[in-house]
Amino acid sequence: MSKALDIVMAGVISGIVAYTTSQLGVTGTIIGAVIGSMLFQVMSHIFREPLDGVKTQRVERSIFYIFPLIIILIIEIVYLFYIFSLPQGDLFFLLERATGWNLFRTIGLALIIMGLFPFVERQLGYEKSISRKYGYVVLAVGLVKLLGGFADLNSSFVDLYSPIFYQLNEIISIMVVVALLYVIISITRESVTFINDKDHTKDSGPTQEKEEN
């Protein structure tokens, strides 16, 4: 478990350093390294210590599943800042440029793939870890973001639904945030419950053996 978390944290830190370096040069490398170090400590405290000694791929897959959702949630919140003309919304243009102006299309496709995972999890040989109800939610959000990403194209099909996105943009974005929060919080709570059950089983095991003896 700890090795998998180390890989996740190393990937996040590398991404932060690479981004700040590309934007600010050597100064960005230093800033990125500092932020990455702080983030490493926070993630270690939040994830590694509570999960220390828990040997289960189910919890591991849950963490890997919600991690991209958290990133997408942050991007959607930044987009909300942009919609409401808040200063933090300027970051949205940086993200758009970084993805070649295909940010929402990329997010939509990624969410659709993630939404399919709970339905093929067993077929891939894994123990069931993500409920299909979360798959439906992620699929729906992914479809909405994908359609929104193509809303600026000149097409007769796009013309059928694009007015909805232009008129209800704020409401749709808020609904996406709520849906992602629901999935992230629910899966996290289920993982914590699973960990607590495992700990309870470990604690009660020796006690039951003593009583039997």
Report, as an integer, the average pLDDT of 80-108.
84
pTM of the model: 0.69
Range 9-35 burial, b when 16+ CB lie within 10 A, else e: beebbeebbeebbeeeeeebeebbeee
Q: Is residue 136's pLDDT more than 60?
A: yes
Alpha carbons within 13 A on the beta-carbon side of 73: 15
- At residue 58, the pLDDT reads 62
Categorize the per-residue pLDDT at 25 as very low, low, confident or very high, splitting at 50, 70 and 90.
low
Distance in angstroms (rounded) separating the CA atoms of residues 76 and 210: 54
- The one-letter amino acid code at 111 reads L
> Considering only 15-19, 143-147, 149-153, 203-207, which range has the smallest mean pLDDT?
203-207
Looking at the predicted structure, is the pLDDT value of residue 83 above 80?
A: yes
Which range has the top average pLDDT, 26-35, 61-70, 108-117, 186-195?
A: 108-117
Per-residue pLDDT tens for 30-81? 666 666 656 665 665 565 555 555 445 566 677 778 888 988 998 899 999 8
Highest mean pLDDT among 48-52, 85-89, 174-178: 174-178
CA 19 – CA 9 distance, rounded (Å)? 15
